[in-house]
Each structure stands twice: as C-alpha cells, then as structure tokens.
Amino acid sequence: MNEGNSTPNAEVEAAPKRGVPIWIQVIIWLLLLGLLAIIAFNMKRSQQGSLKVGDPIQNFTLSFFDGYQFQGKPEINLSDLKGKVVVVNFWASWCKPCEQEAAALESVWKTYESGGQVVFVGVDYVDTEPEARKYLSNFGITFPNGPDVGTKISQYFRITGVPETYFIDQAGNLAYAQIGPFGSESEIQAIIDPLIQK
Amino acid sequence: MKRFLWIFLAVSLFSLVWVGNVFAQKPTPSDDEVNAVASQMFCPVCENTPLDVCPTQACAQWRELIRTKLSEGWNADQIKQYFATQYGVRVLAEPPRQGLNWLVYIVPPFLIVIGVYILFRAFRSMHTVNQLAGGETEPNGPATDEYTSRIEEELKKRN
Amino acid sequence: MVEDFGYGVLILSFILAIYAIGSAVYGYVHRSQKWVESSRLAMQLTFPILTLSVISLIYLLVNDQYHVAFVYEVTSRSMPMYLKITSLWGGQSGSLVFWAWLMAAFSTAVSLRKWDRDREFLPWVVVVTSLTMAFFVGLVIFYENPFLQYWKSFSGDVISAMFQPAGSAFFAPTDGRGLNPLLRHPGMVIHPPMLYLGFVSFVIPFAFAIAALVTGRTDDRWIRITRRWTIIAWTFLSLGLVLGGRWAYDVLGWGGYWGWDPVEISAFMPWLTGTAFLHSVMIQEKRGMLKYWNMLLIILTYALVIFGTFLTRSGVLSSVHAFAQSAIGPAFFIFIGITFVTSVALLIYRWADLKAESQMTSMLSREALFLLNNLLFMSILVVCFWGVIFPLISELVTGQKITVGPPFYKNATGPLFAALVLLMGIAPLSAWGHSTLKTLGQAMWKPLIASLVVMVIIFFGFDIRQPYALIGFFVIFTSAFITIYEFWRAARARSRAQKENILLALWRLAGRNRRRYGGYIIHLAIVCMSLGIIGIEMFQTQTQGTIAQGQSLQLDGYTVTYKDLAVFDTNDNRNVARAVLTVSKNGQFLTELYPRRDYYYESQQPMTIPGVRSTMADDLYVILVDWQPILSSGATFKIYHNPLVNWLWLGSIILIFGSIVAGWPDKEVEIVPARVRRNQIAGSAVGQQVD
C-alpha cells in the first residue's frame, strides 16, 4: 500500500551493478560440496551397520586381564591367528543378556580348546575391571579376555551393543556375526563346525 | 646433648607422621565428589547424557570406578585422562586440545572475526560514500518514523 | 481396508503435488494463467486429501489394529485414548505423514490468500511448497510407509508388506509394543507438533523468496507478504524448543532443560537464522538495504530446517531425541543437495539485482545495531554448526568418535548471548537512519541507573559475587528496564496528548503499532527467560546421598527427609518405585515430594520422574537414583536446587502473548482525533502496520 517510504534516496541505485566475484563463488561452491561430502561419508558409515560376512578383518591387538594368556603371551594379535577359526565375543559385566550365554561359550570353548583349530577371545566393552573380573570368575571363563582399550576394537567392528559375537574364518574373513546372545551350546557349535571342516 | 636433640626431633617427626597418617588417608569420597568428576564425562552406553545422571548399570560402575580412583588420591584431570585412554576420547565432554581437535576451538572465532571484519568494512565504506555524497544524508530527519517522538513533538507544540 | 484407503489417498496427494509442480512450471514458461491457476487448485486439494490419510492412520491407532506394523510399534491396549492419537508422531513413519500433513495445511492456506497483486509469485510458491511436501509424502510412500501390514508366511516368518505376499496369511498380534515411555508426557505430546509447525511455516517465506529470485521481482514485496508467516513460524519454533526443554526437565531426570545435544542444536539453528531474519527484514522494509542478506538468511533457515530434520531422522546423529536408524537417508541427502545448490545458484544469479537502495548513515542508527544483532546470531550459529559438524569430520579423519559437549557451547555462546540481550535493550531506542550518542544517552540514563541500583541490591543484599553472573544480571535488568521505560514513555506521552488513562493509552498505543509493541513484549519475554537460564546455569547446586528411612539430606537450607518408599505394579504394565519425601526449610514443613522410577515391562525401559517443588524463586528437584529392597537400609536421592528456573517457563508464556500481539492481523482502522490524524504524514505511520 505504501512501499514508497522504503526508498529514501534512490540515487544510490545508479551505482553499477556488480555480481558475486568469481573467487567468492568458487569458495562458496567448494564449501557447499565439502559439507555435502562430509555428510555423505558419514551417512554411508552410519548406514553400513555391522561388518558384513566375507569382509576381511583388520589386525587388532588385545591385551588380556591379569591371569589370562594365550600361548604364554599376555596379549593376542589377530594376524598371528591365520589358519585358525577365531571367535570374538563382545561382552560387559553390566550386560544382563551376556550372562545368558557366558556359560555356554565357556563349555563350547572347552570342547575345542584341545583341538587347537579354534581360538576364543573375549573383548570387554566399556567396563570396569573389578566388576569384569568378578563376572569372569563367576562364570569360570578360561578363554582369554581383555578390555577394549579406547573402544578401538568395538568401533572397528561397529558393534551396536553387547553381546555380539563374530566368527572369523581361517583366511581372516568374517564368516558369521551373531547379534545378541546365544541360546544354547549347540547353536554355537553349529556355526563353528562347518568352518573347521573347510 | 645436641645429638640427642636431633634424635628426639626425628622420633617426634616420625610419630607425628605416623599418627597423622590416618588423616592423610582420605575417607570414601562422597557421591557429590564423584558426581563433580562424572558430570564432566559422557559414557558411550547412554549417548549425550552426562555420566553423573545416566541411570544404566554401566555408568553406575563407572561412577564407582571414579570413587575408587578418588580415594586413591587421583585428581579430576588424572581420572579423566585415565578414562580417555581406557575408553576413548569421546568420554570427555570437550575434545582435548591437541592435533586435529584444535580446529574445534579455532574455526568459530576465526569465522566470527571474518564476520566482524566484513561488517566493519561495510560500515566504513558506507561512511565514505556518505561523505562523497555531501555529508550527512538524513532521509527523514532524526527519528521521524518514531510514533512516540511524533506525539512528543505534538506535546511540545501544544505547550 | 482402512490401511489400503489411507495409502491410496497418500499416493493421490503425491500425484497432486507433482501435478501442481508440473503445471505451475508449464504455466510460468508458457505464460498461461490457466495452468498456474490449475496448479494452485491442485495445491489447495492436497490438504483435504492428506487429511483423509491422517484420519485413516488415527483410526487404525485408536482401534488397536495391530496387524498394521506402525500401530503395533507405537501403541498398546493399555494406553489412554489421547496417547493413542498422539502416537501418530511417536514413530518415524507416522511423524513423516504428520509433517507432510502440516506442510499441506500451510500450502493450502497460502493458496487461499488474495493473489491479485502478486500473480507472478504464484507459480514458484506452488513449486517450492509442493516440492517440499511431495518430498515428504514420497519418503512415506517409498521408504517409511505407516500402513504396512504384518503377514505370516507358511514357514512361520512374520513379514511386513503393503499387499498380501503370495503364500502368506493375515497376522495380527494381540497387543502392541506401546509408545516409548519417554514420549508419554504432555510436553512430548505437543512439542513435536509445535516444532514441525515452526519448521513447515518457515517454508512459506522461503517459497516467496525463491519466487522473488526466479521472477526477478526483488523489491520488498515478498517480505511484506510473508511478514506474518514469519512471525507465526518463529513463534511455533520458539514454543517447540521451549516445550522440548520442559519435556527434558520433567522426564529425562538430569535436572536440566537443555543438554546441547546435537539434535537439540539442529532444531535451534533454524531458530537462530529465523530470528536474525525477523529483525533484518525490518531494515529492508524501512531502508531498502540488506536485500541479499535477507535472501541468504531465509535460504539458510530453510536449509537448516531440512538439514536438521535429516540429521535427526537419517541415523547420522544419535541422541535421545533421534529416531532409530532409517533408510530415508540417501533420498533426503539428494533432496538437500538439490535444494541447497539451486537456492545458492539463484541467489548468486540475482546478486546484482539485490543492490541496496540506501546507505548506512550512522554507526548508531537502528539498522547498524540490527546488523550487529545479525552478526551475533550468525556467530552463535557458527559455533553451533561447527560443534555439530566437527565430530563428523573428526570421525572421518581419525576413525575415533569425539564428543563436543556442553562446556564448549556454554563457553563459546555465553558472551554472545549476553551481548544479544544487551543489544535487545538498546537497539529499539535508536532511530532509523540516524541517532547519536546523545539521543541514545537521553533515552538510556534513567533505566541504566535503575539497573545499577538493582545490581547494588544483588551484590550486597543477595551476596552474589560471581563476575559472570553479575554481568548477566546487569545485562538482563538494563534490557528489561529500557524496554519497560520505552513502554512507559510512549504511554505517558499518549495519555497526556489524548487525555487518556495511562493503561488505556498503553493499550491503544500497542494497538496502533502491534508489530513494535508485540516485539517489545517478546523482548521482555526473552529477558524473563534469560533470568531463568542464568539462574539454573550459574546457581544450580546439587547433592546426592544414600539415606535410611527418617534420615535427611541438606541443600541450600532445604532439608529433605526420606519418609517411605513403595514398589508396586500398575495395571498399565509398569513397575513403579515411588518414594515419599518431606521438604522443610528452617524447620518449617513445606511440602511432600514423590520422585519415582517407572520401569516399563513392554519396552524394558526405565524412566525417572523427578519430584519437584516449584516456586518463582527456585525449584527443588529430587530424583530417586537407587533403592534397597529393605527400606530401612536406605535409598539414594539426587537433589538439585535450581534457582529462578520458573522464569524460563513464564517467559515463554509472555512470548506467546507478545507473538499474538505482533502477529495479529490488523484490519480495523483506529479512530484517532482528527487533529492528530491530520498531522500524520500519509504513509509514515500507517506504513508500519498495514500490510
């Protein structure tokens, strides 16, 4: 109705019209593309979910809790275990469902221990040591266990919670991923046995 | 005589230390002391909730760990450092000031300074344009659009 | 049947939106009013059609139709009726439908306005709003369909699909999983609608801005048309944020209202740019300056709305507020890419046309101060944006997650907020075009003295010595007094001139220039809210302790005594542990509090409900942390003392009032004594209030 009062001195309008300088345009587009790229990569990462069966597993080193050892050493390197089936179990002492499977895991470990073809490794996820030790002794766990220092291993496996168990075949590739607890010993054996036979 | 004095001093110092030992040993840290440290940390189990208020079992255990460390005489920074190495730097409420993380602290002030500079330049260029245009351009005179001042002027005229 | 109907109308509304886009573009290119008009009609129809879909979904929710997957996931038989209805937005797919529905409501509303003078904008407004709505409807149709049903294959697997797969049978669970207990709260019932309303209503000014860019009609017409939409959008967004805070305070049990969580921040960022926009458009209206800046701000606001929705819903960020992982990410990403790139390209293309019509004449002019205000808002935005984005960058580079938490944001934004509040007081005193230190000083010295007096009282009377708190209080009181003084000065002048009672004068004054005085009321609301924020941020104290029955905890003069605790099951499938506490101060009994911990069997989720004693001076906020089965052996309580926090909620109510004043459509012409009317220069006064 009266836009008139918004142009008090119109003579400035006469100034030559200038667009956006090219170099600023370049910066703007680069920033925009950079932002989109960051989001794209992160989205890809978050959409990945857990590791896929068949993915090669990177080497990691796990130092054990005191009292545990593997072949006389207080730590384990995945790369040293080529040719063996490796079962990586993520757990925590505060995790109720982990307790369901703890005894089963231990007894399955006992059946394979002497064979030497299978290695069980327990990775303790964001846990405190005294409670973790209590948990281990409660369930009489004998296979080597250690804390996931810096949550590096669990971040690599992109675990979504505990318990989760990963089965790595002789070639070092992921053969099976179990999300959540096992129901029985036979369930675990049914996954390991075909892997040994390969 | 003098030697005995020294021995006496040494013995009394020892007994003082012996007796005082009990005071040097800290009592079990209270919940408040634990929470003061815990509130500066985040636990990966309950994301984006400070450790002092997270209700999960995992976080309760972490708080007990803080209590243990406090009773061992650790200070807050040492405890945070320990948790950071043990569980990763994401437990810290703020990224540590090192390496790439410096960007967190540097980029916003940098951009804000650029903003201030742009604004300042805009002001100045406008000022020069004004002077070129022949001093103050007062489109409507000071505050003409102010309804109140109009009424005030009205008042002046009446009085 | 109902689910098929609901899905069918959903598809129909999608087709309508796509048609609206197509015919609008065709009409624009071929200069055919008929096609444009047809697109307008199509857009108009989307709201009624989508309403049918929403009604179908609500029907399913209310009638326990658990063979529909969404209904199974968010409701259960034990839930009350109002929760069953509102669980429409309790899950990803339902809330997307709801979002699209609100968007349709706004596009229909905007299609109903009188377009006579702005015909050239119409096709592009249709394109932008319909595109946004079609995108959300499309997400629902192709990725997150709430009408999927359960089917049981003969091998016993339960699958969800829209139509019966071959070799499967109808399957309906007897009861649903129930709504996430955290969402069963009145605050959560109205928080998402408010937030979404704020989000979608910002699409309207954006649509007009894009229309102005495309058509080249870059004067301030688009701003004048959308002024009221912007105020509405801003109000809803503000309310959404405050309600979210209230929900966190009541339900999350961490004694605070705002945790600088990435999801909270992504809802806060459009508010920052929206508020900056709300102010800087006034400069364009009055002085014809900052055209490109306003364009940039509204584009940013829209981008941040979409971006925030994306972050929350795609699983890129995790948070208490976020939705579960979802497949909509890539589609969302493409939409974001297209809208960002197109808007920026348009802006660059039209840059030269957005030249200012006048020049800044004084560093103390109101436009200069508004620019400073914009700089501060943008600075806060930069801090927030960087804090949300940096962890993503860091994780990409180092592979390690990091947290950018409250300390970072508090340190970085605290001074900026303080400067904003101070500026909020001063800026309204300055005049458009020109003011001097002298004119500013004249208007300021009285309120300044008043606030200094208050500072002395605070310093000596309340014994407050923290420098930051003192600065905060000073800023707040100065701002408040200047604003109140402005009201009084104007009301007194008018009451003398018109021989009116001062209250009547105030009322008439506000009526004459609703936008300004509504704005001042909002400023006062912000002052109140700042007071609450300073109270809880700087003076919150807490204590925690395990006490046996009959024992007490002390905090800031309050004594909290543990009387009793009961653990029981309720008939809506909860296990409740409820403590009884008494609160007293100086030996005087004040009240009983009942903090409790609810455990939901269905979702296996605990929920901490604080017991709160709330007054204008302070809140006593008690949480039941833990308890022993044997009562006498004790329970653990955490007590927070939150001074002044109620001013935060009070402020938000004042804010609503101020927004209503500012946004109220002015139609009626006020009767002014003839003499005054004659003295008004045509335009200058009326221009402020008539659209």
- For residue range C585-621, list pLDDT tens digits in order: 988 999 999 999 888 887 777 788 899 999 999 999 9
In chain A, residues with a C-beta closer than 8 Å to the C-beta of B85 are 149-150
Phi, psi dihedrals of residue C251, rounded to the nearest 5°:
-115, -40
The CA distance from C269 to C275, in Å, is 10
C414 within a domain of the structure (yes/no): no
Cβ atoms of C81 and C164 closer than 8 Å: no
Interface of C with B in 552-611 (CB under 8 A): 606, 608
Angle at A25 between CA A24 and CA A30, to 5 degrees: 100
Phi, psi dihedrals of residue C112, rounded to the nearest 5°:
-85, -10
In C182-290, alpha helices (H): 186-215, 221-247, 262-287
Q: For the residues C387-416, what does the mean pLDDT come to? A: 88
Kindly state whether residues C146 and C248 are assigned to the same domain: no
Whether C679 shows a pLDDT value over 50: the answer reads no
Q: What is the DSSP letter of C351?
A: G
CB burial of residue C679 (10 Å; 0-12, 13-18, 19+): middle
Kindly state whether residues C272 and C295 are assigned to the same domain: yes
The CA distance from C334 to C336, in Å, is 5
Q: What is the DSSP string of C465-495?
A: --HHHHHHHHHHHHHHHHHHHHHHHHHHHHH
Cβ atoms of C493 and B152 closer than 8 Å: yes
The CA distance from C565 to C608, in Å, is 15
The CA distance from C79 to C81, in Å, is 7
Task: State residue B87's pLDDT score.
Answer: 86
Query: What is the C-alpha radius of gyration for chain C, rounded to an integer number of angstroms?
Result: 28
Across the interface, do A93 and B61 touch by the CB < 8 Å criterion?
Answer: yes
**Partner A contacted by C348 (CB < 8 A):** yes
Q: How many contacts (CB atoms, under 8 Å) link B and C?
A: 179
Provide the b/e sequence for B3-21 (b: ≥16 CB within 10 Å). eeeeeeeeeeeeeeeeeee
Measured between alpha carbons, how far is residue C435 from residues A64, B133, C46, C361, C429 in Å?
73, 19, 50, 9, 9
Q: Give me the residue from C286, C329, C344 closest to A28, CB to CB.
A: C344
The CA distance from B53 to B32, in Å, is 12
Which of these three, C175, C204, C236, is where a domain ends?
A: C175
Pairing, β C574-585 against β C588-593: antiparallel
Q: For the residues C127-131, what does the mean pLDDT come to? A: 94
Q: Give me the residue from C286, C408, C513 closest to B147, CB to CB.
A: C513
CB burial of residue C671 (10 Å; 0-12, 13-18, 19+): exposed
Measured between alpha carbons, how far is residue C248 from residues A41, C245, C259 in Å?
31, 5, 9
Which range in C378-387, C440-449, C562-571 is most confidently predicted, on average pLDDT? C378-387
Find which of C403, C515, C553 to mutate to test the B interface (most B CBs within 10 Å of its CB). Answer: C403
The CA distance from C561 to C584, in Å, is 8
Kindly state whether residues C190 and C160 are assigned to the same domain: no
- For residue range C155-168, list pLDDT tens digits in order: 777 888 888 887 78
Pairing, β A85-91 against β A75-77: unpaired
B92: three-class secondary structure by DSSP: strand
The CA distance from C186 to C376, in Å, is 34
Which range in A173-187, C52-66, C76-90 is most confidently predicted, on average pLDDT? C52-66
Find which of C260, C384, C390, C396 to mutate to test the B interface (most B CBs within 10 Å of its CB). Answer: C390
The kind and range of the H/E element at C627 are: strand C618-627
Kindly state whether residues C70 and C144 are assigned to the same domain: yes
Query: Which residue range(s) make up the domain with C198?
Result: 180-361
Kindly state whether residues C24 and C168 are assigned to the same domain: yes
Cβ atoms of A118 and A196 closer than 8 Å: yes
Please state the separation of Cα C55 from the chain's center in Å: 25
Angle at B89 between CA B84 and CA B94, to 5 degrees: 110
Structure tokens at A2: 């009266």
Peptide bond into A163 cis (omega under 30): yes
In chain A, residues with a C-beta closer than 8 Å to the C-beta of B140 are 8
**Partner B contacted by C177 (CB < 8 A):** no
Please state the separation of Cα C424 from the chain's center in Å: 20
**Partner A contacted by B88 (CB < 8 A):** yes
Number of domains comprising chain C: 3
Nearest-10 crossing angle of helices C406-426, C467-498? 30
Interface of A with B in 137-166 (CB under 8 A): 147, 149-152, 155
Q: How far is A38 from chain C (nearest CA, A)?
A: 7
Cβ atoms of A167 and A53 closer than 8 Å: no
* CATH for B23-96, options being 1.10.630.10, 1.10.10.10, 1.10.8.640, 1.10.1740.10: 1.10.8.640
Q: What is the DSSP string of chain A?
A: --GGGG-S-GGGGGSPP----HHHHHHHHHHHHHHHHHHHHHHHHHHH-SPPTTPBPPP-EEEPPTT--BTTBSEEEGGGGTTSEEEEEEE-TT-HHHHHHHHHHHHHHHHHHTTSSEEEEEEE-S--HHHHHHHHHHTT--S-EEE-GGGHHHHHHT--SSSEEEEE-TTSBEEEEEES--S-HHHHHHHHHHHHH-
Which of these three, C175, C206, C230, is where a domain ends?
A: C175
- For residue range A117-148, list pLDDT tens digits in order: 899 999 998 888 888 999 999 999 999 999 98
Across the interface, do B94 and C403 touch by the CB < 8 Å criterion?
Answer: yes
Structure tokens at C362: 């004084």
Whether C527 shows a pLDDT value over 90: the answer reads yes
Q: For the residues C468-485, what does the mean pLDDT come to? A: 90
Q: How far is C358 from chain A (nearest CA, A)?
A: 6
Cβ atoms of C279 and C186 closer than 8 Å: no
Kindly state whether residues C240 and C128 are assigned to the same domain: no
In chain C, residues with a C-beta closer than 8 Å to the C-beta of B143 are 431-435, 439
Task: State residue C61's pLDDT score.
Answer: 92
Across the interface, do A128 and B140 touch by the CB < 8 Å criterion?
Answer: no
Asked whether this complex has an ipTM greater than 0.90, the answer is: no
Task: State residue B1's pLDDT score.
Answer: 59
The CA distance from C380 to C420, in Å, is 10
Kindly state whether residues C574 and C620 are assigned to the same domain: yes
Count of CB atoms situated within 10 Å of the CB of C377: 23
Q: Which of A158, A162, A152, A168 is nearest to A88 (CA)?
A: A168
Q: Give me the residue from B115, B130, B142 closest to C375, CB to CB.
A: B115
Kindly state whether residues C202 and C288 are assigned to the same domain: yes
**Partner A contacted by C356 (CB < 8 A):** yes
Measured between alpha carbons, how far is residue C194 from residues C243, C322, C381 in Å?
8, 17, 22
Task: State residue C12's pLDDT score.
Answer: 94
Query: What is the C-alpha radius of gyration for chain A, rounded to an integer number of angstroms?
Result: 28
Q: Give me the residue from A5, A8, A126 closest to B44, CB to CB.
A: A126
Site of tokens 């624009």: C28
- For residue range C104-113, list pLDDT tens digits in order: 999 999 988 8
Higher pLDDT: C603 or C405? It is C405
Percent of chain C with pLDDT over 70: 93
Q: Which of C250, C247, C94, C100 is nearest to C179 (CA)?
A: C94
C554 within a domain of the structure (yes/no): yes
What lies within 8 Å, CB to CB, of C195 at 6+ separation is: C236, C237, C240, C241, C243, C244, C267
Whether A192 shows a pLDDT value over 50: the answer reads yes
Q: What is the DSSP letter of C158?
A: E
Across the interface, do C405 and B158 touch by the CB < 8 Å criterion?
Answer: no
- For residue range C539-588, list pLDDT tens digits in order: 999 899 888 888 899 998 999 999 988 889 988 778 899 999 999 998 89
What lies within 8 Å, CB to CB, of C426 at 6+ separation is: C369, C440, C444, C479, C482
For chain C, the average pLDDT equals: 85
**Partner B contacted by A4 (CB < 8 A):** no
Interface of C with B in 261-290 (CB under 8 A): 261-262, 286
Report the chain A residue with the minimal C-alpha distance to residue C336: A36
Percent of chain C with pLDDT over 90: 38
The CA distance from C685 to C676, in Å, is 11
Q: For the ranges A12-16, B144-148, C626-630, which has the lowest average pLDDT?
A: A12-16
- For residue range C13-34, list pLDDT tens digits in order: 999 999 999 999 999 999 888 9
CATH architecture of structural domain A61-197: 3-Layer(aba) Sandwich (3.40)
The CA distance from C97 to C95, in Å, is 5
Find which of C434, C436, C488, C496 to mutate to test the B interface (most B CBs within 10 Å of its CB). Answer: C434
Q: Give me the residue from C336, C340, C351 closest to A20, CB to CB.
A: C351
**Partner A contacted by C402 (CB < 8 A):** no
In C112-220, alpha helices (H): 122-142, 186-215
Spell out, as residue ranges, where chain B has pLDDT lower than 50.
134-146, 152, 154-159
Cβ atoms of A88 and A166 closer than 8 Å: yes
Kindly state whether residues C553 and C623 are assigned to the same domain: yes
Q: Which of A92, A100, A120 is nearest to A192 (CA)?
A: A120
pLDDT-derived band of residue C655, with 50, 70 and 90 as boundaries?
very high
Whether A183 shows a pLDDT value over 80: the answer reads yes
Interface of C with B in 75-104 (CB under 8 A): none
Contacts of C597-604 with CB under 8 Å at 24 or more apart are: C597/C624, C598/C181, C598/C574, C599/C574, C599/C575, C600/C178, C600/C181, C600/C573, C600/C574, C601/C573, C601/C574, C601/C575, C602/C76, C602/C177, C602/C178, C602/C573, C603/C177, C603/C178, C603/C180, C603/C181
Measured between alpha carbons, how far is residue C46 from residues B70, C25, C102 in Å?
63, 18, 11
Across the interface, do A8 and B61 touch by the CB < 8 Å criterion?
Answer: no
The CA distance from C538 to A90, in Å, is 42
Structure tokens at C603: 């979702």
The CA distance from B12 to B18, in Å, is 10
The kind and range of the H/E element at C2 are: helix C2-29
Name the residue ranges covered by the structural domains of chain B: 23-96, 100-158
In chain A, residues with a C-beta closer than 8 Å to the C-beta of B64 are 128
Across the interface, do B155 and C497 touch by the CB < 8 Å criterion?
Answer: yes
C104: three-class secondary structure by DSSP: helix
Task: State residue C285's pLDDT score.
Answer: 83
Provide the b/e sequence for C62-85 (b: ≥16 CB within 10 Å). eebbbbbbbbbbbbbeebeeebbb
Name the residue ranges covered by the structural domains of chain A: 17-48, 61-197
Interface of C with B in 618-637 (CB under 8 A): 623, 625-626, 636
Q: Which of C276, C475, C270, C416 is nearest to B112 (CA)?
A: C416
